A = this chain, B = another copy of it.
Amino acid sequence: MSEALHPPPSSTVYLRVNYSDVDRMGLLHHAAYLRYFERCREEFSRRRGASYAEMEDNGWLIVVVDATVKYRLPARFDEVLAIEVRLVSVGHAALRFEYDVRREGSHTVIATAMTRHAFVDRDGRVRRIEQDLHDMFHRPEQVTRRGEVG
């Protein structure tokens, strides 16, 4: 059973398209989007006082269960992307994030995506999400100078 969040907690993270991530056509390589989304989730947690690194050190491993990306328009080298990441639902052991990618300063959504995540322990067994993690996700975000580009 999963709880849909209304409105979903969200963060907008600005990431620049790096040279090593563009392909022969000069476009952001399609696999790189998943890495950029991961950076957005890290920042989403960081702004709410949590840290992937600490969670892992405490034995909370987060695995990606599935991922879907829809690429509508290309992102080019050196562009700054404004990626809105939303936590749309939280279940007993799973999280679901959604993403809208825009070029900074533009309203046009150039890509959308969804990822689902499960919490497991070091032996790969599913772990229930504890209350304090639930609480964490509902905290208002704190944007610090630690943010990415922007």
Binding site for B on A (CB under 8 A): 16, 18-20, 22-27, 29-32, 34-35, 38-39, 42, 51-53, 56, 61, 63-71, 74, 76-78, 80, 124, 145-150
CB contact between A31 and one of B34, B65, B70 (< 8 Å): that residue: B34
With a cutoff of 8 Å between Cβ atoms, the chain B residues found around residue A145 in the complex are 150
Number of copies of this chain in the oligomer?
4
> Is A24 touching B19 in the complex (CB atoms < 8 A)?
yes
> Is B29 touching A20 in the complex (CB atoms < 8 A)?
yes
With a cutoff of 8 Å between Cβ atoms, the chain B residues found around residue A56 in the complex are 24-25
CB contact between A71 and one of B18, B20, B63 (< 8 Å): that residue: B63
CB contact between A19 and one of B26, B32, B52, B67 (< 8 Å): that residue: B52
- A107 CB to closest chain B CB (Å) equals 20
Known: A56-B24, A66-B71, A71-B63. A19 touches B34 (CB 8 A): no
With a cutoff of 8 Å between Cβ atoms, the chain B residues found around residue A18 in the complex are 35, 38-39, 42
Q: Closest residue to A118 on the B side, CB-wise? A: B71
Known: A19-B23, A34-B34, A38-B18. A51 touches B78 (CB 8 A): yes
Q: Closest residue to A147 on the B side, CB-wise? A: B149
With a cutoff of 8 Å between Cβ atoms, the chain B residues found around residue A35 in the complex are 18, 20, 31
- A57 CB to closest chain B CB (Å) equals 9
With a cutoff of 8 Å between Cβ atoms, the chain B residues found around residue A68 in the complex are 66-69
